Structure 1
Amino acid sequence: MQPTIRVRVKFGSIYYEINISSQATFAELKKMLSGPTGLHHEDQKLMYKDKERSSKTYLDVVGVKDRLKMVLVEDPISQEKSWLALSFSLQYAFIKRSSFRLFGNVSALELVISKGGKVAEKTLLNLIELLMNQLLKLDGITADGDVKLQRKMQVKRV
């Protein structure tokens, strides 16, 4: 039977106590820390004795014993990616909100035209230019996943 040890992991200003097999890997410890910290295990760096430890390394091999302390930090690259994703989401939300106003203008012009009314060419050209600007702004957002899909749908709407 594998002995269970308790390790204290500091993340920011909070300590987490984790009970784990002494023969587990750092990857297993990272997965256990994912829930309480909210960090995906691949976005974590575990520091033991002031060195980052590989996920494949076994706790007992490097000398991790009961009640020892470690430090968890977020991988700076993943942190930057999450900031970029947030930035893209905010850009998208702003563009979407302004597009809705333009869609209202398009609907109003369609209503006037469907009732036989006339629209000034300048008004129509101005609206087209504003919609084209929205497309250019949307084109400037390079993102992955959900934001990319939302951007694609918004481009179709414009």
Structure 2
Amino acid sequence: MLRSKSSKPSSPAIAGDTAKAVDEWEVRPGGMLVQKRNPNADAGAVAFPPIPNIRVRVKHGSAYLDVYLSPQSTFGELKKLLSERTGLHPLDQKLVYKGKDRDSSAYLDIAGVKDRSKIVLLEDSTAQAKRVLEMRRSAKMEKAAKSISQISVEVDKLALQVSALDAAVSKGVKVGENDVLNLIELLMTQLIKLDGIAVDGEAKQQRGMQVEFTTLSLIWISMF
């Protein structure tokens, strides 16, 4: 009778190579099999020296300002540095280089700015006026929203009193006429306040909702 030959066990060297090969691969979340990245792979990468800063001479009025920054900076970043030196808001600045007004998103090196290049700083009166108007508008809207919130708190308190009177009436308790008239007067006062608030946008919608709620409270108490 012939005996079947038993398979020879894998040698440790082969098994080790197989385990190493398997360990070099990984499955990404999408199911793709890729080779693992060596965390130390970048250790031997060539390190490029940092780009040295350049000195830019900025003429502001009769004065000259020396600013040091990377040539890969934008004109907007230069404006921020100049704002610290001049107190002029970055949005109110115009930077003119080689006779052209440069956009804040433009890069110095791409525009040709080099060490010791000269740039002229001008005040943009149009942008300044626009920014001031926007600040005033924002402050006005913020004040209006605060006023509406304060009125909302007062109306909520009055609505609770209306609800309490309604509960009393439901139980057969006689409600004083002066109490009803007083609540009506207070609710009307809040409506007048709401009507005097000039708003637009989101605040306008907020005011409209508050007017509607206050009016419903008035209708409710008028039914007593």
TM above 0.5: yes
Structure 2 counterpart of 1:6, from 74, 77, 95: 74
Structure 1 unaligned residues grouped into runs of 5+ = 16-43, 54-58
Give the aligned partner of residue 100 of structure 2: 62
Please name the residue that 1:151 is paired with: 207
Measured at CA, do residues 142 and 63 of structure 1 come closer, stay the same or move farther in structure 2, by a change above 3 Å?
A: closer
Identify which range, 146-155 or 59-68, moves more after superposition.
59-68
Matches of 2:213 and 2:148, distance apart in 1: 14
> CA offset at residue 5 of structure 1?
6.2
Contact 2:94 2:101 in 1 (8 A): no
CA contact (8 A) 1:92 1:138 kept: yes
Residue 118 of structure 1, CA deviation: 0.8
Q: Give ranges in structure 2 of 5+ residues lacking alignment.
A: 1-71, 103-110, 215-224
RMSD: 3.3
Structure-2 separation of matches of 1:84 and 1:112 = 42
Find the counterpart in structure 2 of residue 104 from structure 1.
160
Runs of 4+ in 1 over 3 A off after TM superposition: 11-15, 63-74
Greater RCO (CA < 8 Å, at least 6 residues apart): 1
Aligned to 1:22: none
> Once the 2 structures are TM-superposed, how far is the Cα of residue 138 of structure 1 from its aligned partner?
0.6
| In structure 2, C-alpha distance between the alignment counterparts of 1:12 and 1:86, rounded to whole Å | 31
Asked if 1:117 is matched to 2:173, the reply is yes
Is structure 2 residue 94 aligned with structure 1 residue 48?
Answer: yes
Higher gyration radius (CA):
2
- CA offsets per residue over residues 90-113 of structure 1, 9 Å max, x none? 101110111110011010011001
* Identity rate, percent: 32
Q: Does 1:136 align with 2:206?
A: no
Number of residue pairs matched by the alignment: 120
Q: CA deviation at 1:46?
A: 3.8
1-structure distance, mates of 2:201, 2:142 = 12
